[in-house]
Amino acid sequence: MKTKLLTGFFVTATALGGVLAGISPAHAFTWNNSWSQSPILSKSQTGFDDAPFQAFVQPERMEKVDVGQLLLDPTKLKLKFDHEVKVHFINEGAGFRNQLAYEATGTTTRTGLVFNDASDDVLKYGDGVSLGNVKAGTLLDFWLRADGRNGGRNIFGTQTAANEDGLQHVFAAAYNNYLVLGFEDLYGGLGAWGGKNQGSDRDFNDTVVVVDIGEDNIRAMSVPEPSITLGLMSLGAAGLMRLRRRQNSVVS
Ligand SMILES: [Ca+2]
Ligand SMILES: [Ca+2]
């Protein structure tokens, strides 16, 4: 009976932790080495113009760039409308040869490679890759394998809680009806050395991409929705009550 009680407690604690952490608990992302690179689409093929977004590649963080962008929570990039999602390479300010992957969770569930080598040695500014149609109700996450092209194995993504150093590695912003993502590819805090730390400059411009999720999705993401948090909290409380009842029935 003691074991059952303990199990009940852990289930309750995990559920509560998930609610407190926000929408989803931390999860690890597994890189699949058998992914292949989807066709790289040129600007003439997509009609995308990278010029307005070059302002995000400078020796500072994205929140310090002032072009009228709106900062978004990188952990909550959820689509409300179906869209053929495309990712465009803007620029890079890195010594590393970074790789970029994506993860769709929810209505559409799949993972895949975006850029096998997000370097300006191989990509032109504005080059794009289609991730295919992504359905409404899908959470989009992006994961960078730092220097992955040269064998690097550190993976940093939009889900901050899943990053091994516990730090934010992606800035997200809405600008010109697109989603802009800027990645930091060095492990650890600003200027920190020792252990796995790499004396990071925390400039968040090591790989910069623009994601075309459609104007409707960008508009929906740009509207603050305080009712969501409240709804989640009450949902969590209801779940907790159910678990307590279940736990009690096990004990009795
Ligand atoms: Ca940099
Ligand atoms: Ca950096």
The ligand minimizing its distance to the Cα of 201 is: 2
In angstroms, what is the span from residue 61 Cα to ligand 2's centroid?
9
Q: Angle at CA 10, nearest 5°, toward 166 and 244? A: 130
Other C-beta atoms closer than 10 Å to the C-beta of 78 total 18
Alpha-carbon span 165 to 194, nearest angstrom: 13
In angstroms, what is the span from residue 29 Cα to ligand 2's centroid?
21
Measured CA distances, 232 to 2, 24, 169 (Å):
31, 11, 26
Residue 85 near residue 134, CB atoms below 8 Å: yes
In angstroms, what is the span from residue 39 Cα to ligand 1's centroid?
26
The ligand minimizing its distance to the Cα of 59 is: 1
The ligand minimizing its distance to the Cα of 186 is: 2
In angstroms, what is the span from residue 200 Cα to ligand 2's centroid?
6
Alpha helices in the chain (DSSP H): 2-21, 43-46, 215-222, 226-251
In angstroms, what is the span from residue 93 Cα to ligand 2's centroid?
7
In angstroms, what is the span from residue 203 Cα to ligand 2's centroid?
5
> pLDDT per position in the chain (252 positions), as tens?
344 444 444 444 444 444 444 444 457 899 999 999 999 999 999 999 999 999 999 887 888 889 999 999 999 999 999 999 999 999 999 899 999 999 999 999 999 999 999 999 999 999 999 999 999 999 999 999 999 999 999 999 999 999 999 999 999 999 999 999 999 999 999 999 999 999 999 999 999 999 999 999 999 999 875 655 555 555 555 555 554 554 444 443
Collect residues with CB below 5 Å from ion ligand 2.
184, 201, 203, 206
**pLDDT tens digits along 147-178:** 999 999 999 999 999 999 999 999 999 999 99
In angstroms, what is the span from residue 41 Cα to ligand 2's centroid?
27
Alpha-carbon span 49 to 43, nearest angstrom: 7
Token pair, residue 230, equals 């409240």
Residue 63 near residue 204, CB atoms below 8 Å: no
The ligand minimizing its distance to the Cα of 208 is: 1
The ligand minimizing its distance to the Cα of 57 is: 1
Alpha-carbon span 99 to 148, nearest angstrom: 6
